[in-house]
Amino acid sequence: MHHFHLLKTTKVAKETNDSVNIAFEIPPALKQEFSFKQGQYLNVRFLAGDEDLRRSYSIVNAPSEENGELEILVKHLEDGRVSTILNQQLAAGEKIEVSAPAGHFYTNHHVSNEKTYVGLAAGSGISPVLSNLKEALYQEPKSEAYLFYSNKSLHDIIFKDEIDALLERFDGRLKVVYLLSREKHFEDELFEGRICAPKLDELLDRFTDIPVREATYFICGPSEMIKSVSGYLKNEKKVPSLQILYEYYAAPDDEENAEMSDEFKAIPNLESMVTLIIDDDEYSFHLNSKKNSILDQALNEKLPVPFACKGGVCCTCKAQVMEGEVFMEKNFALTEDEVERGFVLTCQCHPTTNVVMLNYDV
Which residues contact ligand FES (rule: CB under 6 A)?
307-310, 312-317, 333, 345, 347
Based on CB atoms, which residue is closest to ligand FES, 190 or 250? 250
Based on CB atoms, which residue is closest to ligand FES, 70 or 305? 305
Based on CB atoms, which residue is closest to ligand FES, 129 or 333? 333
CB of 333 to ligand FES, least distance (A): 5
Based on CB atoms, which residue is closest to ligand FES, 158 or 309? 309
Task: Round the CA-based radius of gyration of the chain to a whole number and report it.
Answer: 21
CB of 280 to ligand FES, least distance (A): 21
CB of 324 to ligand FES, least distance (A): 19
Based on CB atoms, which residue is closest to ligand FES, 96 or 298? 298
Based on CB atoms, which residue is closest to ligand FES, 245 or 317? 317
CB of 332 to ligand FES, least distance (A): 8
Q: Which residues contact 1 (CB under 8 A, 6 or more apart)?
A: 278, 279, 306, 360, 361
Based on CB atoms, which residue is closest to ligand FES, 37 or 310? 310
Using CB atoms within 10 A of its CB, is residue 114 exposed (0-12), middle (13-18) or buried (19+)? exposed
CB of 302 to ligand FES, least distance (A): 17
- Total residues found in the chain within this entry: 362
Based on CB atoms, which residue is closest to ligand FES, 73 or 347? 347
Cα dihedral 128/28/10/106 (nearest 10): 0
Query: How far is Cα 238 from Cα 134, in angstroms, rounded to an integer?
Result: 26
Q: What is the arrangement of strands in the sheet containing 271-278, beginning at the earlier edge strand?
A: 281-288, 271-278, 355-359, 318-323, 343-345
Angle between helices 160-169 and 126-139 (to 10 degrees): 20
Using CB atoms within 10 A of its CB, is residue 269 exposed (0-12), middle (13-18) or buried (19+)? exposed
3-class SS at 155? helix
CB of 347 to ligand FES, least distance (A): 3
CB of 3 to ligand FES, least distance (A): 16
Helix (H) or strand (E) holding 201: helix 197-207
The answer to whether the Cα torsion of 163, 250, 311, 43 is positive or negative is positive
- Give 9's strand partners: 24
How is 81-115 classified by DSSP, letter by letter?
HHHHIIIII--TT-EEEEE--B--------TT---
Based on CB atoms, which residue is closest to ligand FES, 235 or 292? 292
CA 2 to the chain's CA centroid: 16
CB of 312 to ligand FES, least distance (A): 5
- Give 355's strand partners: 273
Residue type, 310: K
Q: In the complex, which residue's CB is closest to ligand FES? A: 347
CB of 278 to ligand FES, least distance (A): 14
